[in-house]
Structure 1
Amino acid sequence: MSHPSSPAAPLTGATLWLAALALSAGNFIAVLDTTIANVSVPNIAGGLGVAANQGTYVITSYAVAEAITVPLTGWLAARFGTVRLFITSMLLFGLFSLLCGLSHSLETLLLFRVLQGLAGGPLMPMSQTLLQQIFPREKASIAIGLWSMTTLVAPVLGPVLGGVLCDQVSWPWIFYINVPIALTCGYLGWQLLKNQESMRLQLRIDIIGLLLLIVWVAALQIMLDEGKDLDWFSSTEIVSLAIISVVGFLAFLIWELTEHNPVVNLRVFRHRGYWVSVLTIALAFGSFFGSTVLTPQWLQSYMGYTATDAGIAQALSGVLSVLAAPLVAHLTTRTDPRRLVFIGVMWLGGVTLFRSFNTTDVGFWQVAVPLFFQGLGMPFFFIPLIGLAMSSVDEVEMASAAGLMNFLRTMSGAIATSLVTTAWDDKAKYYHDILSGLTDSGGEAMQQMSTAFGTEPARHLLNSLVDAQSIMLSTNTLFMISGLSFVVAACVVWLAPRPTHMADTSHVH
C-alpha cells in the first residue's frame, strides 16, 4: 500500500457528514445482502420454479464471491486507488443488484449474485478505511463508531427487511432496494471524496495467489453450506471439499508469505495486537452470528411466530447498539480499549447464558427484552476492538488489515451458521431419544389420551410434545455454548498489549 506525497486533509462540516453517510450506506447494503435473502429463499425458489434447497445457492454464491474479494481489498486499493475502488464497487453493486432482480431463471440469478458479491466485497473494508481517513485524527473514534453501527445493525435488519419485502411486494425487491442507494452514494462519494484519492502503484497481479485463494475459500464455503444436507464427512463430496480446502489453504499460506507482492498481505499478523484483536472478533462475532441465525429459526419453526414478529424481536437488539455507539466511541479515546472490549463481550456472554434457560411457554417479551439489552454490549465489543486492531498495524498496512479483518469476521459467521444449524438438529434428535424413553414410561398418559382422542392422534400429540421439548433443550444448549464462547473471547483480548497510541488513519490510503 502507499500514500500520496501530500496527504489530503480530513474533511470538515457538511461535506464530512455527507461523505460519512455515503460511506456508511455502502457498508450497510453490502452487509445487509449477506442476510436479506435468508428468509426469502422459499419465495425465490417458488418464483423461479426450483426446489427450496436449490434456492439456498442464492445465499452461498454471494457469500463465496464476497469472501474472495474482501481480503483482496488491500491489493486492489494499491493498484486502482482507494476512492476509485470504492466508487466502482458501489456502482457495480447497484448494477448487479438490478440484474439480480430482473433474473427469470436460477442460473441467471446465481451469475449476477456472484458478480454482486464480487463487487460488494471491497465495500466493507474500503468504507472503514475511508471513514477513518476523512475524519480528523481526534475524531477517529466517531468514524469507527459509524462503521461499527452499520456492520452490526445490517445483518439483524436483513431478515426483517427481506421478509417484509417478500410478503408485501415480491422477492426481486430485496435486490431493487440497493439500486437507488448505490447510485446516490456512488455519485455523492465521487463528488466529495475524489480529492482523497490515493496514489496508484503498478503492481503485477499475483495470479497463483489469487487462484489459490479462490480454490480454498470456495471449497470451504460450499462444504459449510452443503455439509448438513449431505451428512458431513459420510459424504465423499464433503470429504473431497475438505481436502481441497485444507491443501489449498496451506499452499496459499506458503505462497503468500514468500511472494514479494502478495495478493493478500498476511504479514500484518506479525503484530500481536492485530492477531489477538482479529481472534477476539472471530470468536465473539461467530457466537453473535450463530445465535442471530438460530433465534428466528426457532421462533418461526417451533414457537409459532410469523417472519415479521420473529424479525421484530431480533431487530430490537440493534436499538441500544445504535444509541450506545457514540458513548463508546467517546470512551475509546479515554480508557484502555481492552477493558471496554472485556466488559462488552462478557455482557454479551451473560445475556446469552441467561437466554439458555427458556421454556416452551416463553412469551414475546421474554424473548425480546433480553435481545434488547444484549444490544448494549455490541458497540463495547466492536468499536474499541477495531481501534485496537488498527492501532497495532503500520499506516501503510491499514487497507490490507481492514480487508483481512472483515474476511475473517465474515468466515467466522459462515462457520458458526453451519455449526449451529447442524448441532441444533443433532442435539434435538439426541434429546428426543432421551425424552422418549422417559416420557410416559408406564403408558398411563398414552392410555388416557387414546381413550379421549384415539390411538393415532394420541401418539401424534405425545410425539409433538416431545418434539417441542427436544427443540427447546437443543436451543438452550446452543445458547449456553454461545455464551461460554463469548466468555472465552472476552478473556482472549487481554493477550493484546496495551495500546500506546490511537490509530492514526488520517493519512492512510
Structure 2
Amino acid sequence: MATSATSNADDRSKPAPMKHVEHPPLTGSTLIWGTLALALATFMIVLDSSIANVSIPAISGDLGVSPAQGTWVITSFAVANAISIPLTGWLVMRFGQVRLFVISIFLFVVASWLCGFAPNIESLIAFRVLQGAVTGPIIPLSQALLLSSYPKAKAGMALALWAMTTLVAPVMGPLLGGWITDHISWSWIFYINIPVGAFAAAVTWSIYKERDSAIRKLPIDKVGLFLLVVWVGAMQIMMDKGKELDWFESTQIITLAVVAVVGFAFFIAWELTDEHPVVDLHLFTSRNFWTGTVSLSLAYGVFFGNVVLLPLWLQQYMGYTATQAGIVLAPVGVMAIILSPLVGKSIGKVDPRILSTISFVVFALVLWMRSRFNTNADLTTILIPTVVQGVAMAFFFIPLVSLTLSGLSPDKIPAASGLSNFARITAGAFGTSIATTLWENRAAMHHAHLTEKMNLASIPTMQTMSNLQAGGLSSEQALAVINRTIDQQAYMMSANDIFFASSMVFFILLGVVWLARPIKLAGGAGADASGAH
C-alpha cells in the first residue's frame, strides 16, 4: 500500500501530458488575413537580420566608434538569435504557440524602438541582444501556425507562401537598409519594424487566439539552458571574430573553440538524459528529420557562403558599388517567386526528394557557371547564373522543409522547426566564415604563383613597366598598378576555385537527400512518413 501511495503521489507531482487539439483549417478572408500577418512577421524578421549590414559605417560614425566595434551590432543580434531559436519547442509548452508568437512580436517591436533611440554603442548592442533573443521563436512558429491554417493536402502551398517571404527579404534587406541610411537616418532601419510588427501581432491574435496550443508547466532546465548559452555563444563569437583575429593563430579563438566543443559535448549528454530538456534532441531519432535537417543545413551553408562571396568579389575587384552589387543579386528572387507556388502545388503529388534533387542539380550548374567567370565578365554574363539560381531556390526550401517535418505529430512541429532553423542558420554562419577565409587563403596562393616569374629581369614585366611609366606613372605607381592587376586575377581564380568546389558539394548532397524515407504524397508536410523513425 505504501508503495502504491508513493507511486500515486509521484504521478500527481508530474505534469499532465500535453493534449494536442487539432483545429480545423481556416477558410475565406480569415485564411488570407492570417497568411498575410504570418508572412509579414517572417518578412520583418528575415529582413532585420540583413538590413543593418550596409548601415554599419553610418552607425559607427554617428556613435563615434570604429567599424570593427560597429560590427557588434550584427554579432550581438546573431548570437542572441542563435541561442533562442532552439528553445522554441520548450517555450511553446510553457506559453502556447499563439501567445508566444504574439509576445515575441510585441517584444521585438519594443526592442526595435529602443534600438532606434539608442544614444551610444553600448546601449544599441544591449537592445540588439534583446531584439535577437525575442525573435528566435517567430520564424519557427510562423511556419507551424501557417501549416495549421491549411488542409494537409495544401501544406505544400502553405510552405510556398512562407518560402517566398524568406527568399525576398534577404535581397530587400541590404537595398532597403542602404536607401534608408543614405536618405533618412540609420535609426529608421529599426523604426520601420514598429508598424509592421504591430499590425502582424494584432491580426494574428484576433485570428488565432482561440487556436492556441495546450500549456504544460514544465520545470526550467537551468543546466541545459546555461550550457546552450555557453556553447552557442562561444561558437557564434568565434565564427564572427575568426577572420578578424586570424583564426587559430589567436589565443582568443582557440579558447572560444575549446569552450564551444566542451560545452556542446556536455549539452548533448545533459539534454539526452534530462526529463524536461530545453531542446528535444530525440527528434533526431526520426530518419526524415535528421536527413532533411542535414541536407537543408549543409546546402544552405554552401549557398549562403557563395551569396556573401559574390558581392564581395564584385565590389572589391570588379569596381561595383554596393547598390550595383545588390542589383546584380536581386533577380534571384524573380524565378523563385514565379515557381514557388507551382512547387507548393506539386509537393503533395511529387516525391520531395525528386524536387530537392532538381534544386541541388541547378545549384551545382549555377556554381559551375560562376566558376567560369573571368575579370572581363560583363553584367549579362554575371546575371545569367543569378536568374537561373532562382529556379534552384524555388525547389529548395519547400521540399526540404516538407521532408524534415514529415512523420511528426503537429505538437512536435514547433520544436522540430526551431531545431531545424537553428541548424540551418548555424550552417550559414559556418559557410560564410569558411568561404571568405578560403577566398583569401587561395588568393594568397594564386598571387604567389602569379608573381613567381614576375621580376625586373623578365621582358613582359619590363615592357609593362615602360608602358605605364610612359603614361606618366612613377616606378612605384607602376608597380602598384601591376600588383593590383595580379590581386584582381588572384582573387578571381580563388573565387573560381570556391564556386567549383561548392558545385561538387551539391552533387554529393544528393546522396544525403535520398537517405530519407519516401513520404505519403497526399499530405505534404503534414503527412506521415513510411518508416520515418
Same fold (TM over 0.5): yes
Number of the residue aligned with 1:243:
258
Number of the residue aligned with 2:509:
489
Could you tell me which of 434, 443, 449 is aligned with 2:467? 449
- Cα deviation 1:114-149 (Å, max 9, x = unaligned): 000011111110000000011122211111111112
Number of the residue aligned with 1:460:
480
Number of the residue aligned with 2:51:
36
Number of the residue aligned with 1:471:
491
Could you tell me which of 327, 352, 355 is aligned with 2:367? 352
1:314 & 1:3 partners in 2: Cα distance? 46
Q: What SS does the corresponding residue of 1:33 show, helix, strand or coil? A: helix
Please say if 1:73 is aligned against 2:88: yes
2:335 & 2:53 partners in 1: Cα distance? 24
Q: What SS does the corresponding residue of 1:361 show, helix, strand or coil? A: coil
- Cα deviation 1:164-190 (Å, max 9, x = unaligned): 222222211211111111011011111
**Structure 1: which amino acid aligns with 2:267?**
F
Please say if 1:177 is aligned against 2:189: no
Q: Aligned ranges for residues 13-32 of structure 1 at < 5 Å?
A: 13-32=28-47
2:174 & 2:510 partners in 1: Cα distance? 28
The offset of 1:398, in angstroms, is 1.2
Number of the residue aligned with 1:270:
285
- Cα deviation 1:42-84 (Å, max 9, x = unaligned): 1111111100111111111111111111000001011100000
1:506 & 1:463 partners in 2: Cα distance? 59
**Structure 1: which amino acid aligns with 2:510?**
A
1:159 & 1:346 partners in 2: Cα distance? 28
Could you tell me which of 169, 176, 188 is aligned with 1:154? 169
Number of the residue aligned with 1:480:
500
Q: Aligned ranges for residues 393-432 of structure 1 at < 5 Å?
A: 393-432=408-447
The 10-residue stretch of structure 1 (4-13 or 204-213) with the greater mean CA deviation from structure 2? 4-13
2:364 & 2:303 partners in 1: Cα distance? 9
Q: Is the 8 A contact 1:358 1:476 kept in 2?
A: yes
Please say if 1:49 is aligned against 2:64: yes
The offset of 1:295, in angstroms, is 1.5
1:290 & 1:506 partners in 2: Cα distance? 33
Q: Is the 8 A contact 2:154 2:348 kept in 1?
A: no
Q: What SS does the corresponding residue of 1:203 show, helix, strand or coil? A: coil
The offset of 1:447, in angstroms, is 4.1
TM-score, normalised relative to structure 1: 0.96
Number of the residue aligned with 1:83:
98
Number of the residue aligned with 1:305:
320
The offset of 1:3, in angstroms, is 6.2
Number of the residue aligned with 1:125:
140
The 10-residue stretch of structure 1 (386-395 or 45-54) with the greater mean CA deviation from structure 2? 386-395
Structure 1, unaligned runs of 5 or more:
none
Q: Is the 8 A contact 1:319 1:375 kept in 2?
A: yes
Q: Which runs of 4+ in 1 moved over 2 A?
A: 1-8, 392-396, 438-447, 500-507
**Structure 2: which amino acid aligns with 1:487?**
F
The offset of 1:153, in angstroms, is 2.3
2:412 & 2:336 partners in 1: Cα distance? 29
Q: Is the 8 A contact 2:153 2:524 kept in 1?
A: no
1:179 & 1:410 partners in 2: Cα distance? 25
2:381 & 2:18 partners in 1: Cα distance? 52
The offset of 1:503, in angstroms, is 5.2
Q: Is the 8 A contact 1:284 1:486 kept in 2?
A: yes
Q: What SS does the corresponding residue of 1:357 show, helix, strand or coil? A: coil
The 10-residue stretch of structure 1 (49-58 or 170-179) with the greater mean CA deviation from structure 2? 170-179
Q: Aligned ranges for residues 170-319 of structure 1 at < 5 Å?
A: 170-319=185-334
Q: What SS does the corresponding residue of 1:375 show, helix, strand or coil? A: helix
1:455 & 1:194 partners in 2: Cα distance? 74
**Structure 1: which amino acid aligns with 2:435?**
V
- Cα deviation 1:189-237 (Å, max 9, x = unaligned): 1111111111111111111000000000000000011111111111111
2:148 & 2:137 partners in 1: Cα distance? 16
Please say if 1:134 is aligned against 2:149: yes
The offset of 1:365, in angstroms, is 2.2
Number of the residue aligned with 2:8:
none
2:209 & 2:126 partners in 1: Cα distance? 31
Q: Tell which structure's C-alpha radius of gyration is larger.
A: 2
2:412 & 2:267 partners in 1: Cα distance? 20
The offset of 1:282, in angstroms, is 0.9
Q: Is the 8 A contact 1:10 1:506 kept in 2?
A: no
Q: Is the 8 A contact 1:257 1:267 kept in 2?
A: yes
Number of the residue aligned with 2:12:
none
Q: What SS does the corresponding residue of 1:34 show, helix, strand or coil? A: helix
Number of the residue aligned with 2:11:
none
1:282 & 1:51 partners in 2: Cα distance? 33
**Structure 2: which amino acid aligns with 1:445?**
Q
Structure 2, unaligned runs of 5 or more:
1-15, 529-533
Q: Is the 8 A contact 2:231 2:264 kept in 1?
A: yes
The 10-residue stretch of structure 1 (222-231 or 304-313) with the greater mean CA deviation from structure 2? 304-313
The offset of 1:26, in angstroms, is 1.0
2:122 & 2:106 partners in 1: Cα distance? 23
1:277 & 1:438 partners in 2: Cα distance? 49
Q: What SS does the corresponding residue of 1:438 show, helix, strand or coil? A: coil
| Compared CA separation, residues 258 and 408, structure 1 to 2 (3 A) | same
Bigger RCO (CA 8 Å, 6+ sep): 1
Measured on the aligned residues, the alpha-carbon RMSD in Å equals 1.7
| Compared CA separation, residues 28 and 318, structure 1 to 2 (3 A) | same
| Compared CA separation, residues 144 and 2, structure 1 to 2 (3 A) | farther
Same amino acid, percent of matched pairs: 45
Q: What SS does the corresponding residue of 1:31 show, helix, strand or coil? A: helix
Q: Is the 8 A contact 1:87 1:190 kept in 2?
A: yes
